[in-house]
Every structure is written in structure tokens, then in C-alpha cells.
Chains A and B, each alone.
Chain A
């Protein structure tokens, strides 16, 4: 079992991180479009999407039976399934893999929920270190406005309601996201995250992102597939 940082694969792994409403998913979608148009074999993997674990996660969330420990472990299980079945084989085959959220999401959320920081880091020790981890940094009020304008409401765990921060879901969401933002900021140096100012115009952020990705792909084996 290889540990974080020990993996050496021909493929490239780009991940986006940031609080809800930071615009990271939009940026990753734009990057995906561009990479495909350029002819790279590109695969997208989303947080919390393993078919093997889905029913269990759904059961836990629906019945609100997840504690910080089981929340953490079930997400790690989901991530492990994607790592073992998708991400590692794809990287071995030389693909460009794009992840919307990665282990840093777990580090931020689980630690805010009270899990031991070192324990969570060790738990995800089997993960591959990304080629670049983009962190879309945005002020809390900007992100909150984006989320709350665009959606009917926030879900129980998304708002951190399990922590008993506030009776009001929107208040709880604000406090919870604020703590996650702090956790992300602390991880920038620890994991060498590439910070993108998520308040810039969308096109400017995308230009920045493509420049960084292009530089990494230039050194890579050019695995091109027909678009």
C-alpha cells in the first residue's frame, strides 16, 4: 500500500477545493471542456459518488444517523473506492483526472466536526498527491450570497446542523462554512495548495488555471484521444 506522495504515474491529477459557492465546480467544468477540446484523455471524478457506498451514505444522511466519526469514515470509504477503481488505474494509463473536491475537503470538514487532525490525515494516507490542488479562496459573505440566492435551501449535513451550532439552517451554514474556510486557509502551506482568487471574473480565473495546467501537461506524456 503506497502512501501519499509515493505514487509515480504517467497521468496527471488536478483537483479543485474551496467552500460551497466558491465557484470551483464551474472552473473545473470549464477546464474539462478545454482539455477535451485539446484532445486529452480526460476523466472527471466527483466527491461522494461511489456506487458501492452510495446507499449507505444515503441511509446515514436521510436518517440523520451520522456522527462525526461515521461521517468521516463513510466518506473515506467512498473515496477509497474511487481511488482504487478509477483514479489510480486512470493515472496508470496516462489519463488526465479531474476531481471536484479531494482529501482536503475531508480534512477541513472532519476536523471542524471534531475529529483528530492527525488521525484524518493518516486515514487518507493511501491517496495520490495531486499534480496541482487549486484552492478557490473567497470571502464567506460572497460565497453565502451565491449559494443562498441560487438554491431553495441547504441540506442538514451541508449546513453542519449535526453540530448544533444554530437552530436556523442558514445561520448554522454560515458558522460552519466560516470554520471550514479557516481550516482551508491553514492547509495552504501544509499541502502547497495553489490559491486562486475566486472573486475575480470567471474568465480570468480560468485563464490562470489553464496556464498552470498547460505547464504541467507540457512535461507529461502526450496521451491524446480523438475528441
Chain B
């Protein structure tokens, strides 16, 4: 049975949500929508029905948010709550029904981006977490990670700087370039914190589109086959910590002789699962 991050909304039945909820997170301009546009047909070719959704696309509040962002009178708490309204509408009217019907739901951002944006605008982190505590825990969060120096050329040579993505509401005295840089650096720092807290699977988004797509694809294939997570995508932990697996290993496996990849905590079926994961990509 699925869980939320806290409260359950009235009338929301969490049983029988057989679909998969997969989140693609990452900062502005990192290529989330490009990847989703590749992932959707790939999944459909395999016979999986896909719903793709994303921030401020709700029937209820999408328009209102766009209008409100055009003027510059939008307060920070107000914006945070407007996004929460949009999210609740999509969760109840799109995401949950799709999960019940067995769809793969690919969502371009989830509550994490919304929390990061609010937190760097001075909103109390505990408050924003509580506000979003009705969100359903996803099956996986793939975080497309990029450094600010790799990000800037992409944005400059594609669509240019956007007022909100540059945090101009935060640094009105700066030029757009400096403001963008500052804002995105704070966003990336927030994402790194959230990645730890919520267990994102980090994917390096600096290589070309194809390479990132292949990495995402193998991660998603693994999630869809119900296999446990590979340590490959985990947030890097210091080797010292990694060696001390939280679950005691059986006596016959000497800890020192263990290859790094198998040292992560795994249920008893781990060798089997890893073997399957290795052949998974080519068999599809």
C-alpha cells in the first residue's frame, strides 16, 4: 500500500494504486522535458500507458499562476500556496486516477522543486514540508544534476534567461546573468540537501542527451520491473560508511572481499536482482 509524507486527503484511497509514479527532478534548463519527451514514446512502445504531468499544468490553478506571475506583486507565501493548490488538483484529478488505472506517471518536477524554490525565498522549511505532506511518495525520483557552469551555456544558447528562473524577485539590483547564477547555485544546494533527505537517484546531466536518456531508461526499467535500487545511482556516501552495511551480512561473505557494488544493503534476493538488472536493458 502506498504512503504519503504525512496526512491523507479526504476521499483519497491509497489502496490499489498499481501504476508507477516516477519523478524527474532538476533545475531550470537541465533538460527534464527533453528527457520526458524521449521517455514517453519509449515506454509506450513497450505497451505502457503513460501520463505526463508537470508543475502549473492543472485545470484549476495553472492559468491563475501564469497570470499571477506576469505581474510582480506575487508574495512568497502566496506563490507557495498557489503551487500547492495546483499540485493538489493534479494529484487528485490526474495522478491518483492514472495510478489506479495502472499507468506510468512521469512527472516533470514534484513537490521537491516547489519546496526548494520556497525555501530559498525565506519560507520556513518545516512549514512548506507540512503543507506538502499530503503528497504520495513516488516509486523513484531521478534527479538530473548539473553544475551551474555547465547549465549557463545551455540556457543562454536556448531560450535565454527568465525572470523567475533567474530569481529576479530575490536580487532585483543584479543583472540577469549574475542573478541567474546566484539563484541557480542556491537551488542546486537545496536540491543536494533534498536529495539526501528524500533519497533521490542522482543522474549526471552533463553528458549528451542520449547518454542521459540511456541512464534514465535503465533506472526506469529497473523501477518498472520492481527490482531494488542499485547503489550506482545512489547519492554518494563515503566509503567508510558504505562498508558498514546496516544489515549484518551472512557469515560466509567476508566483508573485505566484497566488491564495492555489492556492499550496499540488499535483501537476500540481492544477487538475483543484480543479475537481472544486468541483463535487463538488453532484453527489452
Contacts and interface: CB of A to CB of B under 8 A. Distances in A.
B122 A1 contact: yes
Tell me if A's interface is mostly helix, strand, loop or mixed: helix
A122 B84 CA distance: 14
Contacts of B64: 52-53, 55-56, 59
B92 A69 contact: yes
Interface string B120-136: 00111001001101100
Interface in B184-237: none
B127 A77 contact: no
Interface residues of B, number: 36
B7 A119 contact: yes
Contacts, number: 106
Contacts of B71: 52
Interface residues of A, number: 33
A104 to B, nearest CB: 18
B171 interface: no
B102 to A, nearest CB: 23
B130 A52 contact: no
Interface in A56-111: 56, 59-60, 65-70, 73-74, 76-77, 80-81, 83-85
A123 B134 CA distance: 12
Contacts of B75: 80-81, 83-85
A52 B60 contact: no
B61 A69 contact: no
A59 B130 contact: no
A73 B81 contact: yes
Contact of A70 (B6, B88, B122): B88
Given A59-B60, A73-B88, A80 B134 contact: no
Interface of A: 1, 3, 50, 52-53, 55-56, 59-60, 65-70, 73-74, 76-77, 80-81, 83-85, 113-116, 119, 122-123, 125-126
